[in-house]
Structure 1
Amino acid sequence: MATTNIQLTPREEQLRQLLLDVARYIDESKEIKEKLELRFAGGWIRDKLLKIESHDIDTAINAMTGFAFSTKMQEYLKDEDNLKKHSLEPTDVRNLHKILANPDKSKHLETATTKIFGFDVDFVNLRKETYSEDSRNPQMEFGTAEEDALRRDATINALFYNLHTDQVEDFTGGLEDLRAKHIRTPLDPKTTFMDDPLRVLRLIRFASRLSFTIDSESEVCMSDPAVMEALKLKISRERVGVELEKMLKGKNPRSALQFIDRLGLYSTIFTDPTLPDCPSPETPNWHIAYDCLEQLKSNATPGSIYQFLVRSEDAKYLAWILAALVPWASLPQTPPIKQKGKPLLPLGGMVAREGIKADNKICSVVSGAFKHYQEITELKNAVKLNTVTLINARDTVGMTIRRWDSQGGHWRLQALFALLVEASLGKTSATFGSYEELFRDWQAFIDHLEGMDLMDAPALKSIISGTELSKALGGVKPGPWMKPALDVCMEWQLRNPGVDDPSGAIEEVKRRSKELNIPPSK
């Protein structure tokens, strides 16, 4: 076993001394035969050695469950002398929560969690695992620190900090791998991945987040057809979605997609498991989409394409989701027929909903992007050629943008998707960093809309409400005519920017009352 030392912060040392005193309190009670040993485990040690700040600490216990230990800690802290000894304030230890085993969410055994000194602390017993062939949910039993280390996904996540010896313990070579910026499984990789195929995605997440390499033997096994099939069959799509979300919200989402691409995992991750014989799109040009997005992101200066189209942290994540789904644009999308009263999503939207279990908001944006990317591209091309008069018709263009936004939301991200599709499916030979012509055309499109003050057309508030319009028409009862009539008002408003008086819009509606099927007033 290799060892090393780390320097605890004063708050971390305060936590260590508290937990050691709780362990002594339990030992002295003689409730258990074996002497307690406490270790911080996994990610906190990795991040500590990499000088990455972390407030999540897993505490591994050798001879009792996490919930039993934390219950005794509560008992210990009922003594006011113990509170004073550790300079504890009432807010320093928050409510204890018992977390029941839930294998579908990767919680294979009962744990307890609480907040102490500002740290989120989980308590869990050391364990070893035995897997069956058809499930990623193992049989659990108490184990040694070494057995616990060997069951983990990567050596860099299998390190322990022993609170009693004040040393980092390494049973699997994790310290050397950390120094080499290398990710490797503690056991044979095929065994590790077949036991729990979710580890394939976890290794990709850590590699992309930390800018580490994955060892070649593990990469070969990650691409093994048996492992990919197990990933499809043994892992819930919710868990796939959670890992993907962590990748794409992480430090280097492009790197995560590169791993997925290079290892041939696209059809395993981005699929619709509810669709019999779900097709698989070709992905030889997928790299152009995510490289293109990375290039746009690198130029987020005021007025740039990225600055105009990606305007929030939420939008950044959505942008990478859209880049990940670009290959599906090469396949015919399911027509929007109704099924059980609801329109069926385009194929790309179904992959988002069923394949990675994206929420309704994300599915809506994805579906809108697939529905409208061709239309958005056509308008961009019209602006480039300057041959269609409608490109300067503020009402027509504004209403079109409002329609795109109403059918999915985030119309700017829909435009980004159209750009990425054009780059990827245009069979361009562009390499990373050489998208000048493509970017120039889209920048001109955005500048044109900005010049017309239409980028925020969906947010434009109508100068007249339905109630006000009905009253202005002599008290006509609202009906099917109302929405088209309000659209006429909005068109008038777009043609007359800055005008606050709705009388012109009302006159426009009156002139077109027959066309709008507005019944006569009483």
Structure 2
Amino acid sequence: MSKRKSNASEKEHFASRSPQIRKMAEPTATTTIQLTPQEERLKSLLLEVARHVDETQEGRDPVVLRWAGGWVRDKLLGIQSHDIDTAINVMTGAHFSAEIVALCKIPEMVEKHGVTPTDIGNLHKIAANPEKSKHLETTTIKLFDFDVDFVNLRKETYSDDSRNPQVEFGTAEEDALRRDATVNALFYNLNTGKVEDFTGGLADMGNKLIKTPLEPFQTFMDDPLRVLRLIRFASRLQFTIDPEAEKVMGESRVMQALRLKISRERVGVEVEKMLKGEYPKDALERINTLGLYHTVFTDPSKSDAPQPDISNWRTVYECLDRLREARTPGSIYDVLVHTKEAAYFSWVLAAVVPWAPFSQTAPTSKKTPPYATLAAREGIKAPNKVCEVITAAEKHRPYIMALKKAVCANDSYIHERDRFGMAIRQWEARGGQWRLQVLSAETRDTGKEERFLQGWQLFLDHLQELDVMEAPLLKRIIDGTQLAKALSVKPGRWMAEALDVCVAWQLRNPKATDPAGAVAEVRSKAVQLGIPIV
């Protein structure tokens, strides 16, 4: 699988391995982690609380605290993390968190650990919610600027018909074995100061490998969401997925389990994290090559829906990635994608392109959302704003393409500022994110030569020359009340169209400050607009 060049701090850590990571070829349970001063403060406080619990609650095993999963992985990769999962061996997270809050009210404890009022936040209990992968109650508290989750070590037992397991207290090894990937199954034991590896995660990190702790097929059948989680982590870390796992990720029984056992909200959460990450193209490439498209990007309620052709889908997301990589001031991507939200939207639009050839109309002839919109709305539970842009992109693509073609052909009307400005205003008003609608049309264009991109660059340069890029923000020179008064008529259904006539006049006369010309334009079209002027 191709890897694109990294360009941010996290990516640099993945590209140049630290001496600590290079040692991971040999599995070990004695690797250490260099803590920051703030992490040392947090560790000292938690161990103090654990000692207090041991002294006051006799008759059970001593409390052992472990920082788990993602924090350990990222620290070993040299990435600073402010989210820390803390696993406890003999008590619940809620119980231990309550002890923290109580002890931090004791003056001696406050003085010893330098605790200030802003160092300790409020406790937040997150109830068990199996549909959102919360199989056990978790307690979260803000400590020394870290978001710290507390939960007890656990083991999970799955049934054939549900991804929601039976959960009970477990050992550290049982807790590690239930996790989705070995690189996420590492513990940092606060009591010993050592990293504990029960699954070979250290070696897998050294080999840049995403591997399941247990046999892949059963792992995915127990919880099919792990298929998407492995793709997300492999993309984020730029690791390779274990070939044995890849063999079964797209297996029909696993895909069927993913459809039946996993809520579409959970599918959407994983896909959203993929597409908001640093490597969205790689995530889509893995979904494509593993044969997961029709399971992920689909409306599961439409058993009779057509099956889109994804044979050319690769050209779409590769085009978008190429545009992003080539971003320079004034370039296509720079002009069309201004925010992180827009970047995410652009990848969702690319993801549902295979559905674009299909149109859908209900028997009553009342228009319903395109299949592309349904794939996003029902398949990954995309937000309404995203779905509205997808629908608009489908609807407006023919006109976008027509205007682009006209500019490339230097047609006679391409200098009509009102034609282009009003089109942009309409695209924005009916769906929003007009720039992304243009980007979607572009990535769906079939051209592959440099001339293809040059044509779209020419189109955008032309819009900028016309100074219509901000047309949706153009303030009307006259409002409805003023226009009706100037025409000596009462407002009516004609008003919206008449105001568009005024805006079009403004676009043709950008320096005008007197609305008289706009009023005259409307008056000249009174019959056409249905205005009852006497």
Flag whether TM exceeds 0.5 (same fold).
yes
Q: Aligned AA for 1:477? A: K
How many residue pairs match? The answer is: 507
1:93 to 120, 127, 131: 120
Measured after TM superposition, the shift of residue 501 of structure 1 is 1.3
| Pairing partner for 1:362 from 378, 382, 386 | 386
Deviation at residue 164 of structure 1 after TM alignment = 0.3
Residue 496 in 1 paired to residue 509 in 2?
yes
> Which residue of structure 1 lines up, in the alignment, with residue 219 of structure 2?
192
1:271-320 alpha-carbon deviations (Å, 9 max, x no partner): 01122322221111111111111111112111211111111111111111
**1:404-446: CA deviation from partner (whole Å, max 9, x where unpaired):** 2211111111111011111xxx3x6x4xxxx411101111111
Q: Which residue of 2 aligns with 1:472?
A: 486
TM-score normalised by structure 2 residue count: 0.92
The equivalent of 2:420 in structure 1 is: 397
- Distance in 1, matches of 2:269 and 2:520, equals 54
Give the alignment of 1:56-455 within 5 angstroms: 56-329=83-356, 331-335=357-361, 344-387=368-411, 389-422=412-445, 426=446, 430=448, 435-455=449-469
Tell me the CA shift for residue 338 of structure 1: 7.8
Partner Cα distance (1:233, 1:379) in 2: 45
The alpha carbon displacement at 1:337 in A equals 8.3
1:37 matched residue in structure 2: 64
Retained in 1: the 8 A contact 2:104–2:115? no
The answer to whether the 8 Å contact 1:338/1:344 transfers is: no
TM-score for the superposition, normalised by structure 1: 0.95
- Return the alpha-carbon distance in structure 2 between the equivalents of residues 146 and 257 of structure 1: 33
Retained in 2: the 8 A contact 1:336–1:345? no
Distance 2:76 2:319 in 1: 34
- In structure 2, do the counterparts of structure 1 residues 336 and 158 end up closer, same or farther at CA, with 3 Å as the change threshold? same
1:31 Cα deviation (Å)? 5.7
SS at match of 1:4: coil
Separation of aligned partners in 2, 1:335 and 1:454: 34
> Which amino acid in the other structure matches residue 362 of structure 1?
V
Partner of 1:507, secondary structure, is helix
2 CA distance for matches of 1:310 and 1:207? 26
Identity of aligned residues (%): 59
- C-alpha distance in structure 2 between counterparts of 1:482 and 1:49, whole Å: 64
Structure 2 unaligned spans of 5+: 1-27
DSSP 3-state at the match of 1:115: strand
Aligned partner letter, 1:499: A
Matched residues in 1 for 2:168 and 2:69: separation?
19
Kindly indicate whether the alpha-carbon contact (under 8 Å) linking 1:336 and 1:346 is maintained by their aligned counterparts in 2.
no
- Whichever residue aligns with residue 113 of structure 2, its letter is H
Is the 8 Å Cα contact of residues 101 and 108 (structure 1) preserved in structure 2? yes
What is the CA-CA distance between 1:324 and the residue it aligns to? 1.1
Partner-residue secondary structure (3-state), 2:247: helix
Moved more, 281-290 or 116-125: 281-290
Greater shift, 464-473 or 164-173, is seen at: 464-473
Distance 1:63 1:487, change over 3 A: same
Distance change >3 Å, CA 17–CA 450, structure 1 → 2 = same
What does the per-residue CA deviation read over 1:319-342, in whole Å, with 9 as the maximum and x for residues that have no partner?
Answer: 11111111112x322138889xx9
Rounded Cα–Cα distance in structure 1 between residues aligned with 2:80 and 2:57: 37
Segments of 4+ moved more than 3 angstroms: 335-339
Confirm or deny: 8 A CA contact 2:320 2:443 kept in the other structure: yes
Amino acid at match of 2:391: S
Q: Is the 8 A contact 1:390 1:397 kept in 2?
A: no
Question: What is the SS of the residue equivalent to 1:287?
Answer: helix
Aligned equivalent of 2:53: 26
Q: Match for residue 483 of structure 1?
A: 496
1:52 aligns to what?
Answer: 79
* Counterpart residue identity of residue 527, structure 2: K
Alpha-carbon distance, 1:449 to partner? 1.5
Q: Secondary structure at the residue paired with 2:136?
A: coil
Cα deviations by residue, 1:158-182 (Å, 9 ceiling, x for unpaired): 0000000000000000001111111
Task: Letter of the 1:105 partner, please give it.
Answer: K
Task: Give yes or no for contact 1:337–1:344 (8 Å, CA) kept in 2.
Answer: no
Secondary structure of the residue that 1:114 maps to in structure 2? strand
Q: Does residue 1:505 correspond to 2:532, yes or no?
A: no
Where in structure 1 are there 5+ consecutive unaligned residues?
none
Shift of 1:87: 0.4
Task: Spell out, residue by residue over 1:154-208, the C-alpha distance to the aligned partner (whole angstroms, 9 max, x if none).
Answer: 0000000000000000000000111111110000011111111111111111111
- Once the 2 structures are TM-superposed, how far is the Cα of residue 368 of structure 1 from its aligned partner? 0.7
Provide the residue aligned with 2:471 in structure 1.
457
Separation in 1, partners of 2:59, 2:229: 36
Query: Quick one: distance in 1 between partners of 2:501 and 2:482?
Result: 14
User: CA contact under 8 A between 1:108 and 1:137: conserved in structure 2?
Assistant: yes
Which range moves more in the overlay, 49-58 or 447-456?
Answer: 447-456
Q: 2:159 aligns to what SS in structure 1?
A: coil
| Preserved CA contact (<8 Å) 2:224 2:262 | yes
Distance (whole Å) between structure 1 residues aligned to residue 112 and residue 158 of structure 2: 45
Q: What amino acid maps onto 2:477 in structure 1?
A: I
Separation of aligned partners in 2, 1:381 and 1:103: 52
Q: Tell me which residue corresponds to 2:18.
A: none
Query: What letter matches 2:454 in structure 1?
Result: R
Once structures 1 and 2 are overlaid, which stretch shifts more, 455-464 or 147-156? 455-464
